[in-house]
Amino acid sequence: MEFISFKFFAAPRMIRVAQTLAVLACGQAGLDSEGTMAVELAVSEAVTNIVKHAYPGADRGFGLLRIKLLKDQVVVEVADWGGGYEDVLLSPGPSGQTASSGYGLLMIRKFMDEVSFRKDREMNILTMRKFLPAPR
Residues within the interface to other proteins (CB under 8 A): 12-13, 15-16, 19, 33-34, 37, 40-41, 44-45, 48, 51-52, 99-100, 103-104, 106-107, 110-111
Give, in degrees to the nearest 5, the angle at Cα 18 between 39 and 124. Answer: 85
Query: Minimum Å distance from CB 106 to other proteins?
Result: 8
Query: Minimum Å distance from CB 101 to other proteins?
Result: 8
Give the single-character DSSP code of 59.
-
Interior/surface letters 68-90, b for 16+ CB within 10 angstroms, e for the rest: bbeeebbbbbbbbbbebbeebbe
Query: 51 or 67: whose CB is closer to other proteins?
Result: 51
Query: Minimum Å distance from CB 1 to other proteins?
Result: 27
